[in-house]
C-alpha cells in the first residue's frame, strides 16, 4: 500500500507534465496522440534518427555524469555549458592541427576535449577557492567567455577559406571524424566513452574513499575541514573531473556530430545536463535512462514542425515542466511531513 502510494506520488509530476503538453497541443489545434507518435517515431523510428538520439544521449550523459561529481561536492557547476564548449574548442584545435590515422586522432581529440573542459572548470574552481567568487557567477561568466571564444576563432584565425562566416569552420579532415558504421549515425566510440564515464562515476561516488570524502566536503564544508580533509584540493579535483567529462561531451559534439567547430558548440547540452541531474536527484544511476528520455524528446521534437503544426520547443517545455513539477512535488512532500511531525510533537507536549 505504501509502495503504491509512493509510486503514485512519483507519477504525479509526470502526469502534470503530460497534462501541460496536451493542453499546449490542443491550444494549437493538433492531436496529442499524433504529437506523441511524432516524437517517439522521430526519436527512435528509423536507424538514422536512432543514431542521432544515441549521439545526443552520449553527450547528455557525459555532461550529467560530470555534474554528478560536482554536485556531490556541493558545487553548483552551472558553468558546465562553458566546459562543454571549451572541450569542443580544444578537440577542434587537435582535429585541425594534427594529421594522424583515425585511431590516434580519436584518442587525441578526446584527450584534448577532457583537458579543455577540465581547465575551464579549474578556472571556475580557482575563482571559488582563491577568489571567493561563487561558482554560479564564475561559471556563467566563463560560459559566455567560451561562447565568445568559439565565435572569435570561427570568424578570426580559423575562418573558412575565403569567407568569414559565423556558420562554422571548414569541416575537419576525415581522419578526425569519430568513425561510424554504415547508415548508423552514431559512433561506437562515443557510446563506449559515455558508458565508461557513467560506470566510473557511479563506482567513484559510491565505492571509493575519494567519493566518500567528496560527499563529506559537499555535505558540510565546515565540518570536513575540521576532520582534516583538504577541502580545496577536493573541490578543485571535483571541478576538474566534472569539467573533464563535460569536455569529453564537447569533443564528441564536434568530432561526432558537427564535424566542425560552430559558434556555441555545446548546443545547450550542458544546461540540459543540469536538468537531468536535478531529475535524477543527483544520483548517477538514474542518469542513463533520463538522458535517453531527454535525447528522444530532443531529436523527436524536431519532427513536430515537419509533420504537424507544432513548434519543436514543445519538447523543451515538457522536459522543463517535468523537472519543475518533480522539484515542487519534493518540496510539498517534505513540507507535509514536516507539518505532520510538528503536529505530532505538539500533541505529545499537550
Partner 1 sequence: MNELHSLIAAAAPLVFAVVGETITEKAGIINLSLEGSLMLSAMTGFAVSYETNSLILGFLAAALVSSLVALLVAYSSIALKLNQVAVGFVLFQLCVDLSTFLGNSYVRIPGPSVGALPIPLLEDIPVLGRLLFDHNLVVYSSFFAVIAAYYFIFRTRQGLDLQGIGERPEAAHARGVPVNRLRYMYAALGGSLVGIAGASYSLAVKLGWSFQHTRNLGWIALAIVIFGGWQPVRAAAGAYLFAGLLTLAQILQAPLPGIAQVLPTIPFPLMILTLVIVYSDWLRRLTDRFPALRTILASEPPAAIGTVFEPE
Shortest Å distance, C-beta 209 to partner 1: 28
Q: Which long-range contacts (CB under 8 A, 24 or more apart) does 217-225 make?
A: 217/73, 217/74, 218/71, 218/72, 218/73, 218/74, 218/75, 219/74, 221/74
Other Cβ atoms closer than 10 A to 182:
7
Q: Does 237 bind partner 1 (CB under 8 A)?
A: no
Query: Which positions from 60 through 99 interact with partner 1, judged by CB under 8 A?
Result: 76, 78
Q: By the 8 A CB rule, do 49 and 184 touch?
A: no
Question: Quick check: 134 binds partner 1 (CB under 8 A)?
Answer: yes
Query: Could you tell me the smallest distance in angstroms from the CB atom of residue 291 to partner 1?
Result: 16
Q: Which of 113, 138, 211, 300 binds partner 1 (CB under 8 A)?
A: 138
**Could you say which of 46, 148, 167, 208 contacts partner 1 (CB under 8 A)?**
148
What is the SS3 assignment for 156-199? Answer: CCCCCCCCCCCCCCCCCCHHHCCCCCCCCCCCHHHHHHHHHHHH
Q: What are phi and psi of 310, to 5 degrees?
A: -125, 135
36 binds partner 1 (CB under 8 A): no
| 31 binds partner 1, rule: CB under 8 A | no
Of the candidate spans 35-43, 198-206, 207-215, 314-322, the one that interacts with partner 1 by CB under 8 A turns out to be: 314-322
Q: How far is it, in rounded angstroms, from Cα 153 to Cα 171? A: 14
Verify binding: residue 293, partner 1, rule CB under 8 A: no
328 binds partner 1 (CB under 8 A): yes
Which residues lie closer than 8 Å to 23 by C-beta, 6 or more apart? none
Question: Residues interacting with partner 1, by CB under 8 A?
Answer: 24, 76, 78, 127, 131-134, 136-138, 140-142, 144-145, 147-148, 151-152, 155-156, 164, 166, 263, 271, 274-275, 278, 311, 313-314, 316-317, 319-321, 323-324, 327-328, 330-332, 334-335
Amino acid at each position: 500500500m505504501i509502495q503504491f502510494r509512493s509510486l503514485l506520488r512519483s507519477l504525479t509530476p509526470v502526469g502534470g507534465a503530460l497534462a501541460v503538453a496536451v493542453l499546449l497541443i490542443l491550444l494549437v489545434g493538433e492531436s496529442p496522440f499524433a504529437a506523441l507518435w511524432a516524437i517517439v517515431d522521430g526519436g527512435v523510428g528509423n536507424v538514422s534518427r536512432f543514431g542521432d538520439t544515441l549521439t545526443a544521449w552520449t553527450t547528455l550523459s557525459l555532461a550529467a555524469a560530470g555534474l554528478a561529481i560536482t554536485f556531490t561536492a556541493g558545487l553548483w557547476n552551472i558553468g558546465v555549458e562553458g566546459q562543454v564548449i571549451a572541450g569542443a574548442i580544444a578537440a577542434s584545435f587537435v582535429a585541425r592541427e594534427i594529421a594522424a590515422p583515425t585511431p590516434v586522432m580519436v584518442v587525441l581529440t578526446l584527450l584534448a576535449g577532457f583537458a579543455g573542459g577540465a581547465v575551464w572548470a579549474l578556472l571556475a574552481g580557482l575563482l571559488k577557492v582563491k577568489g571567493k567568487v561563487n561558482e554560479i557567477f564564475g561559471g556563467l561568466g566563463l560560459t559566455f567567455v567560451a561562447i565568445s571564444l568559439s565565435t572569435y576563432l570561427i570568424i578570426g584565425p580559423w575562418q573558412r577559406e575565403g569567407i568569414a562566416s559565423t556558420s562554422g569552420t571548414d569541416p575537419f579532415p576525415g581522419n578526425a571524424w569519430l568513425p561510424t558504421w554504415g547508415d548508423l549515425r552514431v559512433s561506437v566510440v562515443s557510446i563506449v566513452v559515455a558508458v565508461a564515464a557513467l560506470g566510473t562515476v557511479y563506482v567513484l561516488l559510491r565505492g571509493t574513499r575519494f567519493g566518500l570524502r567528496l560527499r563529506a566536503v559537499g555535505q558540510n564544508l565546515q565540518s570536513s575541514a575540521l576532520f582534516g580533509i583538504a577541502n580545496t584540493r577536493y573541490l578543485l579535483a571535483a571541478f576538474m573531473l566534472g569539467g573533464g567529462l563535460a569536455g569529453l561531451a564537447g569533443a564528441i559534439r564536434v568530432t561526432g556530430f558537427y564535424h566542425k567547430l560552430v559558434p556555441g558548440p555545446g548546443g545547450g547540452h550542458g544546461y540540459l545536463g543540469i536538468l537531468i541531474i536535478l531529475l535524477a536527484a543527483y544520483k548517477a544511476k538514474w542518469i542513463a535512462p533520463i538522458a535517453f528520455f531527454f535525447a528522444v524528446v530532443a531529436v523527436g521534437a524536431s519532427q513536430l514542425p515537419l509533420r504537424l503544426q507544432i513548434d519543436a520547443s514543445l519538447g523543451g517545455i515538457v522536459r522543463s515542466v517535468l523537472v519543475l513539477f518533480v522539484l515542487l512535488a519534493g518540496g510539498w512532500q517534505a513540507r507535509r511531513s514536516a507539518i505532520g511531525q510538528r503536529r505530532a510533537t505538539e500533541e505529545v507536549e499537550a
